[in-house]
Structure 1
């Protein structure tokens, strides 16, 4: 994930910054508790496509 692109992207729900999970290929927003998938190198920034984080994932500060 390009660091400059990541710096520009925010969660469409909470407008909070995102963190990149390389292993899961997701952009994580702990503020909204959502994980947005990255498909074919492109982030899918739709709430309807996002996965809800578990309680443990919300607390994890990777």
Structure 2
């Protein structure tokens, strides 16, 4: 099961309430402002700050 990108219209970062972007491998949603990456497990985004990982500068630049 893959993530439905139409959900990005209603989903927001739980920390800053900003827009999220899908990672290239579609296994994560990324917030560029907070530099956080939220996992997508079985097509379901896990929007819990404690489950998010920090994005490195290289990952952040690759997301552009």
RMSD: 1.5
User: For this pair of structures, how many residues does the alignment match?
Assistant: 62
Higher relative contact order (CA 8 A, sep 6+): 2
TM-score by length of 2: 0.83
Distance in 1 (CA, whole Å) between partners of 2:26 and 2:5 is: 17
* Structure 1 runs not aligned, ≥5 long: none
Corresponding residue of 1:7? 9
Distance in 2 (CA, whole Å) between partners of 1:23 and 1:55 is: 18
Deviation track 1:6-60 (CA, whole Å, cap 9, x = no partner) reads: 1111100011100001415000001011000000110000000001000222334
TM-score by length of 1: 0.85
* Structure 2 runs not aligned, ≥5 long: none
